[in-house]
Chain A
Amino acid sequence: EIVLTQSPATLSVSPGEGATLSCRASQSVSSNLAWYQQKPGQAPRLLMYGAATRAPGTPARFSGSGSGTEFTLTISSLQSEDFAVYYCQQYDNWRTFGQGTKVEIK
């Protein structure tokens, strides 16, 4: 099973600031990585796939990068609606998720 480790567990950011979230895979997943955003009481929402491709409706302030075992989700300027939990998910071998990074208001 491919294990995804996300860091940090919690990120405290002021509105308007940028944020960088990391996801590390226990073995290479090529670019077979997606990112999701989940708000309390809601289902996850697909943000990115193919490590760097924005899903329809994902604002341009979200960008993804990486390949192999190291991936990053960057939010350039946090808006109020961006405070949520973010999960990475690999689809190179079955499907597994990271444990999540909570982005909270500083």
Chain B
Amino acid sequence: QVQLQESGPGLVKPSGTLSLTCAVSGGSIFSNNWWTWVRQPPGKGLEWIGEIYNSGSTNYIPSLKSRVTISIDKSKNQFSLKLSSVTAADTAVYYCARDVDQHYFDCWGQGTLVIVSS
């Protein structure tokens, strides 16, 4: 069974870059799936950030497109998120997930809290 695990710094300074990695185990990142990032500000709802396919093809939510990069590391069976020029509004739990046919998300990591603060 596929499992996902996020990792990365829990604290990022304002104007800095948030960097997270999602390790995929129990399955190949080369499978016929997209891989995605979703975030959830404390006490609030869910926001889809973007997705990547094993070919490296990406899609991003328009509101974040200028600041987001999602990449894939085939050798490590993982994918990553970079979000630049962060502010306190980017404070959230960040989840990685498996994206079925660019539709819904059937397998999630446990999430990692990233706080933007000086």
The chain A residues found within 8 Å of chain B, CB to CB, are: 1, 32, 34, 36, 42-46, 49, 55, 87, 89, 91, 94-100
Closest to B46 in A: A97
Q: Which of A1, A44, A96, A100 contacts B105 (CB 8 A)?
A: A44
Closest to B110 in A: A43
Q: Once bound together, how far apart are the Cα atoms of A34 and B105, in whole Å?
A: 9
Instruction: Give chain A nearest CB distance to B96 CB in angstroms.
Output: 10
Across-interface contacts of B48 in A (CB, < 8 A): 89, 94-97
Inter-chain CB contacts under 8 Å: number: 51
The chain B residues found within 8 Å of chain A, CB to CB, are: 36, 38, 45-48, 59, 61-62, 95, 97, 100, 102-106, 108-111
Provide the main secondary structure of the chain B interface.
Answer: strand
Instruction: Give chain A nearest CB distance to B37 CB in angstroms.
Output: 11
Q: Once bound together, how far apart are the Cα atoms of A97 and B95, in whole Å?
A: 14
Across-interface contacts of B106 in A (CB, < 8 A): 46, 55
Across-interface contacts of B95 in A (CB, < 8 A): 43-44
- Inter-subunit contact B109/A49 (CB<8 Å): no
Q: Once bound together, how far apart are the Cα atoms of A46 and B103, in whole Å?
A: 12
